[in-house]
Amino acid sequence: AAKSEGRACYRFYNETMNSKAVEQLKLEEELRHALKSDELELHYQPQVSKITGTAVGIEALVRWNHPRLGAVPPGDFIPLAERTGQIIELGEWVIKEVARHCKDWKTQGFDDFVVSVNISPVQFKQAQLAERIASIIKQTGLTPERLELELTESAIMTDAQTNITKLQQLKSIGLSLAVDDFGTGYSSLSYLKRFPIDTLKIDQSFVADLDSLDGAAIVDAILALSKSLKLKVIAEGIETEEQLSYLLHKQCDLLQGYYFSYPVRAEEVPDLLQQNYSQLLSSLSKR
Ligand code: C2E
Ligand code: MG
Ligand code: MG
Ligand code: MG
């Protein structure tokens, strides 16, 4: 039992851990409630194309508006949901909510952009993942070509041989696939080539570290790798003009970060899609 409970076994020996465990149990109960009521909300952050200067994609990021605790960041409840298995329900809710928002945006005339959703490693491990997603797509009428899944490097590299089949199933539905937080895990380059993936997302820690030689070297290496494997590449976590300028000079295709926009509510997405950064991007590229 101690083994399967992982860290929680300390609760028998340590008072502090005890109250933490109680807090976790409470949060788990409340998350179950949140999934049924209206407490979860998706926010969206633009992914700007270097070529068009506009958002060609948006990433869905889940938020929990907790009645007692206020805004709980995903970093605080995704790991919990992964431990309890609630992440499966949460992950499916995200896709359904994206489908609902896409309908709204379409009636306003916006339907030529991709929406990325984050898939937890736990959800990715699910044997029926492709079937489940295909069924949600069918049920909601979402266009599969509009949906991109962000998978983590470690999730796809663990059991790589088995995952090739799974990734192919997801591709055959019509979805695009991105590798999130790229560079933080251990990629086998030979598998990376065999995986039917479309995009690498450079982890934001490397972008934050661009002013150091090491940080820049890693970003350069990922850009070169994606070019030679003919993958799209997106840098996330861009906060400053210096970072943006560096990435533009190095021909990074897609750009995401607070510099362009914080994640915003669905109602504000049409405004995001009408932003045009062409002039800014071309003036920075010339510098
Ligand atoms: P991620 O997928 O790598 O998402 C990027 C995170 O960086 C987001 O944090 C985003 O708000 C934040 N970010 C964006 N631009 C900047 C920037 O310029 N500077 C900095 N410092 N941060 C920036 P968020 O929304 O708190 O999400 C954290 C993580 O939680 C995500 O990392 C993702 O792994 C997970 N997550 C979020 N939504 C979902 C979801 O719907 N399902 C699953 N399974 N995981 C999710
Ligand atoms: Mg992501
Ligand atoms: Mg990331
Ligand atoms: Mg992350």
pLDDT tens digits for range 201-254? 999 999 999 999 989 999 999 999 999 999 999 999 999 999 999 999 999 999
Q: Which residues line ligand 1 (CB under 6 A)?
A: 45, 60-62, 73-75, 78, 91, 94, 118, 120, 150, 180-181, 204, 236-239, 257-258, 263
207: CA distance to ligand 1 center in Å?
14
Q: Which class for 161: exposed (0-12), middle (13-18), buried (19 or more C-beta within 10 A)?
A: exposed
CA neighbor of 236 nearest in space, from 201, 261, 212: 201
Q: Which residue is closest in CA terms to ligand 1's atom 8?
A: 61
Alpha-carbon distance of 193 to 99, in angstroms, equals 31
181: CA distance to ligand 4 center in Å?
6
46: CA distance to ligand 1 center in Å?
12
Pairing of strands 147-152, 40-49: unpaired
Q: Tokens representing 265?
A: 């509510």
Alpha-carbon distance of 251 to 263, in angstroms, equals 24
pTM of the model: 0.93
Mean local confidence (pLDDT), 23-49: 94
204: CA distance to ligand 1 center in Å?
10
Looking at residue 102, its pLDDT comes to 98
Q: Which residue is closest in CA terms to ligand 1's atom 41?
A: 62
Buried b (16+ CB within 10 A) or exposed e, 142-152: bebebbbbbbb
Q: Is the ipTM of this complex over 0.90?
A: yes
* Shortest-distance atom of ligand 1 to CA 43: 25
Lowest mean per-residue pLDDT among 102-106, 166-170, 172-176, 282-286: 282-286
Mean local confidence (pLDDT), 83-112: 97
Task: Give Cα 8 to chain centroid, integer Å.
Answer: 28
Name the closest ligand to CA 237. 1
* Shortest-distance atom of ligand 1 to CA 120: 44
With the most atoms of ligand 1 within 8 angstroms of its CB, the residue from 48, 61, 92 to mutate is 61
Pairing of strands 55-66, 40-49: antiparallel
Non-local (6+) Cβ contacts of 64 within 8 A are: 31, 34, 39, 40, 41, 71, 72, 74, 77
257: CA distance to ligand 4 center in Å?
13
